[in-house]
Structure 1
Amino acid sequence: MSKVECPWNRAAESLGNSVELQHVNLRVPDQRLATAFYISALGLTRDPFLLTGVENMWANAGVSQFHLPHGQAQLLRGTIGLVLPDRAQLLHRLQTARRWLEGTRYGFEEAADHIAVTCPWGNRFRCHAPEAERFGRIQLGIPYVEFDVAPGTLDGIVRFYREIVQAPARIEDGVAKALVAPGQYLTFRETDRPQPAYDGHHIQLAFVDFGGVHARLSERGLISQEDSQFQYRFIRLVDPDNGRLLFEVEHECRSMTHPLFMRRLVNRNPAVTNLVYAPGAEELAWAMPPE
C-alpha cells in the first residue's frame, strides 16, 4: 500500500493531558465593585444559574469563568489575557465605569495591540481584539494567564508541565508556555521585580489522566488538598530534576467525570441594551462564525 501524504501538521492539534482551563479564582472585598468591573466595564456575564447571591459571583468569559468570592482582595502575580469582541465598545464601557470605580486602583491604557486594564484591587488584564493568527477562533475568552516568575526558572517550569502535568510546554520568545486547553495557555515571564507573597488565588484545570497526575504529584509530596472523588489541589511548582521550588499558585485539578466539566456557559452580547436592542441578538457566541 502506498503512503498517503498528509498536508496538515497533525501535532498542532494535540492537546496533551490538560483539556480545560475553567476558571481563575480571585477573592474580592466588594461585590458591587466587582459587578461594576467584570460585568459593566469588561462586558462579561454573571452566571445566571450558580452562585447568584451576594457572597460570590461567577463571571462567564467564553468557555471559562472568573470566580469572585467575598473576602480580602487577592492579587494574581501576573497578567490575565482576555479576548473581547469590540475594542471601541470596550473603551466606551471602560470610560463609563470610571463613575463607579473612582477612588480605587481601577484604570486603563491603550496600546497598539491591546488595552491594559487594572481592576479596583490591582489585578492586571490585557484585553485583545479577536485575532485568528494569535488566538485561533476565540472572540470571547481567556487565551492565557501569565505569571511573573523569578529569573532562572523557565526551564524547570517547562519540565514540570511536560513531565508531571504532561501538557505540551515550550519556551517561545523568552516566555514559558504550557497548553492547558484548546487555545488556552498558562504562560510564565521572568522578572527582576520583587513579587508579593502568594495569597491563595487559584486556577482550575481538568485532566484526562486525572489519576496519573495525582500519582506523580503524590510521590513528590506536592498534593496540598484532597477535595472529593473528582478533585484535588496542588500549589508548588518544582523542577522535576532536583525538586527546587520554582513558583507557587494553587491548581484546582478536576477529572473529566467532574459534574461541572465542560458545563455550557451563557455569554451575553454587551452591545445589546434596552436602548439598543435587536431580537435574538442577546447571546454572544464565544467563537468566530464560520468563514
Structure 2
Amino acid sequence: MAKSRRTKHPEVGGIAHLEHVNFEVDSHDMVSIFFMAGLGFTRDPYTRSDEKNMAANVGLQQFHLPRLGRPTPPMQGVIGLITPELEAIKARMKGLQKEGLFKGTPFRYQVKKGYHEVMSPFGVKMRLHQTGTLPFPKVLGMPYVDIPVEPGKAEPILNFYKRIMRSTGSIEKVSGKKAACVTMGPYQWTRFIETKGLDSYDNHTFHIAYYVSNYNEVLDEIERNKGVIAGGQNQIFFFEDIFDPDNGDLIYSLQNEVRSFYHEDFMRPLVNRWPMSDEPFSVQRDPNREKARQQGIMPGPWDN
C-alpha cells in the first residue's frame, strides 16, 4: 500500500481558538507607546475604545487592555508572540527607551538565543519569535501563553481541560520543567508549567479568552460546580476555578473567558499594520498564503 503523503497536524479538540489575553493597565498612553510604536501592533478600530478600554491586534489574536484603576500586578508567566522583523522591533524599542518613555517602569529588552524577550512596562513578560521559527500558521500571532503553577498541578490541570472542554493536550517538558500543554487552537497552547518557589500571586485581573465547540456542555459543567463568576448569556461566560471533575476539588485559579462559536466576535477579521508603513490588508495576503502553503494548510477566504 502506498504511503500517504498528506501533511499531519496536531488535532485541535474542543478549544478552537485562543483569541485574547486580558490584563489591566494604568496608562493607555503607555499602551500606545509599547504595543503600537514599539511592537508595531495595531489598535483595534472596531472594539469600543474610551478612557477605560483599548485592544491591540496581533494577527488573529488580541491584547485586551482595560484601565479600571487596578493594574495587574507583575505577572510570573510569559506570553509568546510570532512577529516578523525582530531587529526592527529591537531598534524601535531602543529608540523609545532612549527618549525616556519607559522611565520608571520595569521595561527590559533582551536578545536571547532563538528569540527576543521583552519585559513590558506593565510587568508582563513577552517572548518574541521570528516568523517561521515556530510551527504557527500565520506571520503574526499568539502561539502560546505560559502560566507557572505549583509542582504536582500539571496532570490534574490537563485532565480538567480534556474532560470539561474536550481539549487535546499532553504533558511535555518546557525548558526542562514538567508542563500541561493544553491545545487552544491550531498550533496554540496554554502551557501550565510546574515551577518551584512561586511567589504568592493574585491573578484575578489577568485572563485568557477562547472559543469552544461544546459551549452548552461546558457551561452546564461549570455551573454544576458553581464556578460561573460572570456571564452565561450572549454566548459568553467567565470562570476561574480549575477543579477536579470527579470531586470538585480546587486545583488552580485562573480566570477563563469562554465563548461560543455563535458569539458575534468569532473569527472577526482584525486590522493589522504589517509592515507598519503600509495599509492593513493586501500586504498580509501573499505572506499568509505562502506560510499556509509551506505548512500544508489551505488558505482561508480572508487570505484571498
TM-score, scaled relative to structure 2:
0.85
Partner of 1:116: 117
Task: Identify the residue that residue 179 of structure 2 maps to in structure 1.
Answer: 175
Candidates 236, 243, 247, aligned match of 1:238: 243
Query: 2-side partners of 1:259 and 1:147: how far apart?
Result: 28
* Cα distance, 1:288 vs structure 2: 5.9
Distance change in 2, residues 1:245/1:206 (3 Å): same
Shift of 1:121: 2.1
AA partner of residue 158 (structure 2): V
Rate the CA distance shift 1:43–1:201 in 2: closer, same or farther, 3 A. Answer: same
- Aligned CA RMSD, in angstroms, stands at 2.3
Match 2:60 to one of 49, 57, 63: 63
**Does the 8 A contact of 1:137 with 1:288 survive in 2?**
no
Within-5 A mapping of 1:1-291: 6-8=4-6, 12-71=9-68, 72-75=70-73, 76-98=75-97, 99=99, 100-131=101-132, 134-173=134-173, 174-192=178-196, 193-272=198-277, 283-284=283-284, 287=288, 289=290, 290-291=293-294
Distance (whole Å) between structure 1 residues aligned to residue 57 and residue 261 of structure 2: 20
Deviations 1:75-100 (A, max 9, x none): 44411001111111111121122121
Structure 1 residue 226: deviation in Å? Answer: 2.5
What is the alpha-carbon distance in structure 2 between the residues aligned to residue 108 and residue 26 of structure 1?
20
Provide runs of 4+ in structure 1 moved above 3 Å.
3-10, 241-244, 278-288
Contact 2:22 2:205 (8 Å CA) reproduced = no
Query: How far did 1:217 drift?
Result: 1.7
SS at match of 2:271: coil
Secondary structure, counterpart of 2:160 in structure 1: helix
In structure 1, what is the equivalent of residue 301 of structure 2? none
Measure how far apart 1:283 and its partner are. Answer: 4.5
Measured in 1, the distance between the counterparts of 2:40 and 2:48 equals 19
Structure 1: runs of 5 or more not aligned: 273-277
Shift of 1:4: 8.2
Residue pair 1:135, 1:183 contacting (<8 A) in 2 also: yes
Change (3 A) 1:225 1:4: farther
Letter in 2 for 1:83: I
- Size of the alignment, in residue pairs? 282
Q: 1: CA distance between counterparts of 2:221 and 2:279?
A: 52
Pick closer, same or farther for the CA change 1:110–1:54 going to 2, 3 Å. Answer: same
Return the offset for 1:43.
1.1
Instruction: Indicate how the Cα distance of structure 1 residues 227 and 244 shifts in structure 2: closer, same or farther if over 3 A, else same.
Output: closer
Q: Distance in 2 between matches of 1:248 and 1:279?
A: 41
For structure 2, the residue ranges without an aligned partner over 5 or more in a row are 295-304
What's the CA shift string for 1:50-69, capped at 9, x where partnerless? 22333211100000100111
